[in-house]
Amino acid sequence: MPLPQTPSFRLDGRRALVAGASSGIGRAAAVALAQAGARVTLLARQADNLVLLQSEMRAEGLEADYLALDICDTAKMESTLAAQAPYEILVNSAGLARHSPALQTIESDYDAVTNVNVKAAYFLTRAVAKSLVGAQRSGSLINVSSQMGLVGGIDRAVYCATKHALEGMTKAMAVEWGPHKIRVNTLCPTFTRTPLAEQTLSIPARRKWIEDQIKLGRIAEVEDLMGAVVFLASDAAAMMTGTSLLIDGGWTAS
């Protein structure tokens, strides 16, 4: 009887779109996918950082191009992606956080965070899926959520609301698009050393509290997420859809 064979983690020849690629988790995800063989399109609002990252990646022999695009401009985003060949992989790492106690939340902050973390995520994921369905292609769509999409957090009522919404959206899309062989999952990291997290990690007392909650005792690095991104994008995760992959150092285990 032949031995079972481990599915490949390679992504050779597949087209990947990474939103929020200019920094942090998105930047790391773009590099990880390209190192696994994908042809990566870097997407963010400003071109400068994308041009720099593209240059750095190409210097390492990695395939990368870029789109300077604001995903909150739904009409332009949809028309731009409709003109591209389908992307078999999406990593949506674009995100915004404006933290405050719930009693002090101002409406403009609520609207700004919701617009990026929910509305833009919804229509970006839909746009990529629509191209795949039209081309009768399978795909893996990954929304970068957070451990805060599964639990609550101090001063994070708005952020948690958006990430919980992202979790629900992902499950519903996975159910709807499963017959098209399109998988939709979330990646849920704990506090990760990125420019977005720096507003919290720069406060010594808050950082100490965070490290005490993470059972492995340290803040995550972007490298801790790169393997998970490749896994979810690859055939190794072919039976995973509508679920969350937690990389939280044990935060939510207790």
Averaged in consecutive runs of 10 residues, what is the pLDDT profile of the chain (254 residues)?
96 98 96 98 95 97 96 98 97 94 96 98 98 98 97 94 98 98 98 86 90 95 98 98 98 92
**Would you call 87 a catalytic residue per the annotation?**
no
pLDDT at 195: 84
In a domain, 252, yes or no: no
In a domain, 166, yes or no: yes
In a domain, 195, yes or no: yes
What H or E segment, with its residue span, contains residue 184? strand 182-189
- Active-site option among 66, 87, 122, 159: 159
Domain CATH for 63: 3.40.50.720
In a domain, 31, yes or no: yes
In a domain, 1, yes or no: no
Look up the domain containing 147 and give its range. Answer: 15-245
In a domain, 226, yes or no: yes
In a domain, 254, yes or no: no
Both structure tokens of 211: 């490290």
Between CA 206 and CA 204 the distance in angstroms is: 6
Q: How many other CB atoms sit within 10 Å of the CB of residue 2?
A: 4
- Split into its structural domains, the chain has a count of 1
CB 32 within 8 A of CB 203: no
Q: Cα angle vertex 44, ends 82, 150, to 5°?
A: 95
In a domain, 118, yes or no: yes
